[in-house]
Amino acid sequence: MLATPNRFTLVTGFGEGKTKLNAFDAALLASGLGNLNLIKVSSILPPGAKYQRKLEIPFGSLVPTAYGSISSIEPGELIAAAVAVGIPVADTFGVIMETSDFCSKSEIEERITEMVIEAFTLRNIEYQEIKVCAVEHQVTHCGAVFASLALWYDL
Protein backbone atom coordinates (compact mmCIF):
# COMPACT_ATOMS: atom_id res chain seq x y z
CA MET A 1 0.00 0.00 0.00
CA LEU A 2 1.22 3.49 -0.86
CA ALA A 3 1.43 6.32 1.65
CA THR A 4 -1.61 8.58 1.82
CA PRO A 5 -1.01 12.02 0.28
CA ASN A 6 -1.46 14.98 2.63
CA ARG A 7 -1.31 17.89 0.13
CA PHE A 8 -3.26 18.77 -2.98
CA THR A 9 -2.95 21.34 -5.74
CA LEU A 10 -5.37 22.32 -8.52
CA VAL A 11 -3.91 23.20 -11.92
CA THR A 12 -4.98 23.72 -15.52
CA GLY A 13 -3.28 24.15 -18.85
CA PHE A 14 -3.89 24.24 -22.58
CA GLY A 15 -1.63 23.75 -25.53
CA GLU A 16 -1.21 23.24 -29.24
CA GLY A 17 0.93 20.66 -31.01
CA LYS A 18 1.47 18.81 -34.26
CA THR A 19 -0.33 15.76 -32.81
CA LYS A 20 -2.92 15.23 -30.08
CA LEU A 21 -0.24 13.74 -27.84
CA ASN A 22 2.05 16.74 -28.35
CA ALA A 23 -0.87 19.08 -27.65
CA PHE A 24 -1.62 17.14 -24.45
CA ASP A 25 2.06 17.37 -23.48
CA ALA A 26 1.98 21.14 -24.09
CA ALA A 27 -1.11 21.40 -21.85
CA LEU A 28 0.68 19.39 -19.14
CA LEU A 29 3.69 21.69 -19.37
CA ALA A 30 1.43 24.76 -19.15
CA SER A 31 -0.18 23.33 -16.00
CA GLY A 32 3.17 22.73 -14.29
CA LEU A 33 2.81 18.93 -14.30
CA GLY A 34 4.61 18.23 -17.58
CA ASN A 35 7.83 16.96 -16.02
CA LEU A 36 6.17 14.56 -13.58
CA ASN A 37 4.91 10.98 -13.89
CA LEU A 38 1.16 11.13 -13.38
CA ILE A 39 -0.71 8.19 -11.89
CA LYS A 40 -4.40 8.58 -12.71
CA VAL A 41 -6.57 7.99 -9.65
CA SER A 42 -10.26 7.99 -8.89
CA SER A 43 -11.91 10.69 -6.95
CA ILE A 44 -11.35 10.70 -3.19
CA LEU A 45 -9.49 13.45 -1.35
CA PRO A 46 -7.65 11.86 1.60
CA PRO A 47 -8.78 12.92 5.09
CA GLY A 48 -6.80 15.89 6.35
CA ALA A 49 -5.19 16.72 3.01
CA LYS A 50 -4.35 20.41 2.87
CA TYR A 51 -4.64 22.71 -0.13
CA GLN A 52 -1.42 24.26 -1.37
CA ARG A 53 -1.54 26.69 -4.27
CA LYS A 54 1.86 25.79 -5.70
CA LEU A 55 3.14 22.29 -6.38
CA GLU A 56 6.57 21.75 -4.86
CA ILE A 57 7.90 18.32 -5.83
CA PRO A 58 10.95 17.09 -7.77
CA PHE A 59 10.80 16.41 -11.51
CA GLY A 60 10.12 12.78 -12.34
CA SER A 61 8.11 12.13 -9.16
CA LEU A 62 5.18 9.71 -9.25
CA VAL A 63 2.12 11.87 -8.59
CA PRO A 64 -1.40 10.54 -7.95
CA THR A 65 -3.62 12.75 -10.09
CA ALA A 66 -7.34 13.08 -10.82
CA TYR A 67 -7.70 14.84 -14.15
CA GLY A 68 -9.90 15.63 -17.11
CA SER A 69 -8.53 16.34 -20.56
CA ILE A 70 -9.69 16.54 -24.14
CA SER A 71 -8.07 17.27 -27.48
CA SER A 72 -9.30 18.30 -30.91
CA ILE A 73 -7.98 18.72 -34.43
CA GLU A 74 -10.86 20.96 -35.53
CA PRO A 75 -9.70 24.58 -35.91
CA GLY A 76 -12.04 26.96 -34.12
CA GLU A 77 -13.54 24.28 -31.86
CA LEU A 78 -13.95 25.24 -28.20
CA ILE A 79 -12.76 22.64 -25.69
CA ALA A 80 -12.80 22.76 -21.89
CA ALA A 81 -11.68 20.72 -18.89
CA ALA A 82 -12.40 21.10 -15.20
CA VAL A 83 -11.62 19.55 -11.86
CA ALA A 84 -13.37 20.30 -8.57
CA VAL A 85 -13.02 19.10 -5.02
CA GLY A 86 -15.51 19.21 -2.20
CA ILE A 87 -14.02 19.81 1.22
CA PRO A 88 -16.05 18.04 3.94
CA VAL A 89 -17.45 19.69 7.05
CA ALA A 90 -16.51 16.73 9.25
CA ASP A 91 -13.00 15.34 9.62
CA THR A 92 -13.42 12.81 6.81
CA PHE A 93 -12.53 12.40 3.15
CA GLY A 94 -13.51 14.79 0.38
CA VAL A 95 -14.67 14.08 -3.17
CA ILE A 96 -12.92 15.05 -6.42
CA MET A 97 -14.65 15.22 -9.79
CA GLU A 98 -13.08 15.79 -13.19
CA THR A 99 -14.56 16.25 -16.65
CA SER A 100 -13.94 17.60 -20.15
CA ASP A 101 -16.13 18.44 -23.12
CA PHE A 102 -16.66 20.58 -26.20
CA CYS A 103 -18.05 23.62 -24.35
CA SER A 104 -17.12 26.86 -22.59
CA LYS A 105 -15.31 27.28 -19.29
CA SER A 106 -18.44 28.63 -17.60
CA GLU A 107 -20.51 25.65 -18.77
CA ILE A 108 -17.98 23.13 -17.51
CA GLU A 109 -17.58 24.96 -14.18
CA GLU A 110 -21.32 24.74 -13.58
CA ARG A 111 -21.40 21.06 -14.56
CA ILE A 112 -18.44 20.08 -12.36
CA THR A 113 -19.89 21.89 -9.35
CA GLU A 114 -23.16 19.97 -9.74
CA MET A 115 -21.17 16.73 -9.97
CA VAL A 116 -19.42 17.38 -6.64
CA ILE A 117 -22.71 18.27 -4.94
CA GLU A 118 -24.29 15.03 -6.19
CA ALA A 119 -21.27 12.99 -5.05
CA PHE A 120 -21.61 14.40 -1.52
CA THR A 121 -25.36 13.78 -1.55
CA LEU A 122 -24.82 10.14 -2.59
CA ARG A 123 -22.41 9.68 0.32
CA ASN A 124 -24.62 11.57 2.79
CA ILE A 125 -21.71 13.87 3.66
CA GLU A 126 -21.87 17.65 4.07
CA TYR A 127 -19.36 19.88 2.32
CA GLN A 128 -18.09 23.23 3.53
CA GLU A 129 -16.40 24.39 0.34
CA ILE A 130 -16.03 23.45 -3.31
CA LYS A 131 -12.85 24.47 -5.13
CA VAL A 132 -13.14 24.57 -8.93
CA CYS A 133 -10.38 24.89 -11.51
CA ALA A 134 -11.26 25.03 -15.22
CA VAL A 135 -9.78 25.97 -18.57
CA GLU A 136 -11.05 26.51 -22.11
CA HIS A 137 -9.20 26.77 -25.39
CA GLN A 138 -10.21 27.57 -28.94
CA VAL A 139 -8.29 25.15 -31.14
CA THR A 140 -5.91 26.64 -33.70
CA HIS A 141 -4.55 23.47 -35.30
CA CYS A 142 -4.41 20.58 -32.82
CA GLY A 143 -5.26 21.61 -29.27
CA ALA A 144 -5.69 20.09 -25.83
CA VAL A 145 -6.88 21.18 -22.39
CA PHE A 146 -6.04 19.65 -19.03
CA ALA A 147 -7.45 20.22 -15.52
CA SER A 148 -6.06 18.34 -12.55
CA LEU A 149 -5.98 17.85 -8.83
CA ALA A 150 -2.52 16.55 -7.96
CA LEU A 151 -2.10 14.69 -4.67
CA TRP A 152 1.31 14.82 -3.06
CA TYR A 153 3.26 14.56 0.16
CA ASP A 154 5.18 16.82 2.49
CA LEU A 155 8.85 16.63 1.56
Residue 155: the pLDDT is 64
Active-site residue flag, 43: yes
61 within domain boundaries = yes
Active-site residue flag, 16: no
Q: What is the pTM of this model?
A: 0.95
55 within domain boundaries = yes
- pLDDT tens digits, one per residue of 104-147: 999 999 999 999 999 999 999 999 999 999 999 999 999 999 99
Determine which one of 43, 69, 72, 148 is catalytic. 43
How many structural domains comprise the chain?
1
Q: Considering only the C-alpha atoms of the chain, give the largest distance between any 2 of them, rounded to a whole number of Å.
A: 47
2 within domain boundaries = no
141 within domain boundaries = yes
**What residues does 37 pair with on adjacent strands?**
62
131 within domain boundaries = yes
Active-site residue flag, 37: yes
51 within domain boundaries = yes
27 within domain boundaries = yes
- pLDDT tens digits, one per residue of 26-76: 999 999 999 999 999 999 999 999 999 998 899 999 999 999 999 999 999
1 within domain boundaries = no
Determine which one of 31, 71, 98, 100 is catalytic. 98
Q: Cα separation of 79 and 98, whole Å?
A: 14
The 3-state DSSP class for residue 95 equals strand
Percent of the chain with pLDDT over 90: 94
Supply the range of the domain harboring residue 24.
7-152
The CATH number assigned to the domain holding 84 equals: 3.50.20.10
Residues 65, 33 contacting (CB under 8 angstroms): yes
Determine which one of 37, 106, 114, 126 is catalytic. 37
